[in-house]
């Protein structure tokens, strides 16, 4: 393990999530998961997700 003691502690707190959608699989490590439904195009939803995670584009 590299880094300080906090790094190992934080990694132990993360949970492993798998999301399976038809022919796609998403695998992530996170402390929580939330699912939201959108009645918009993929491009609009993808841009919304980017703005939430990266700030205003």
- Give the model's pLDDT for residue 23: 81
Contacts of residue 7, defined as CB under 8 A and 6 or more positions apart, other chains included, come to: 1
Residue among 21, 13, 17 at smallest CA distance from 37: 21
- Alpha-carbon gap, residue 38 to 45, rounded angstroms: 7
Contacts of residue 10, defined as CB under 8 A and 6 or more positions apart, other chains included, come to: none
Q: Give residue-wise pLDDT tens across range 6-55.
A: 555 556 688 888 888 888 888 888 888 788 899 998 889 888 888 888 86
- Give the model's pLDDT for residue 1: 42
- Give the model's pLDDT for residue 39: 94
Which residues span the domain enclosing 30?
Answer: 5-54
Domain count for the chain: 1
Q: How confident is the model at residue 4 (pLDDT cuts 50, 70, 90)?
A: low
Global pTM exceeds 0.75: no
């Amino acid at each position: 393990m590299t880094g300080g003691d906090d790094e190992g502690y934080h990694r132990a707190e993360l949970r492993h999530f798998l999301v399976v959608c038809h022919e796609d699989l998403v695998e992530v490590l996170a402390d929580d998961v939330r699912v939201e439904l959108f009645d918009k195009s993929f491009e609009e939803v993808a841009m919304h997700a980017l703005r939430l995670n990266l700030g205003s584009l």
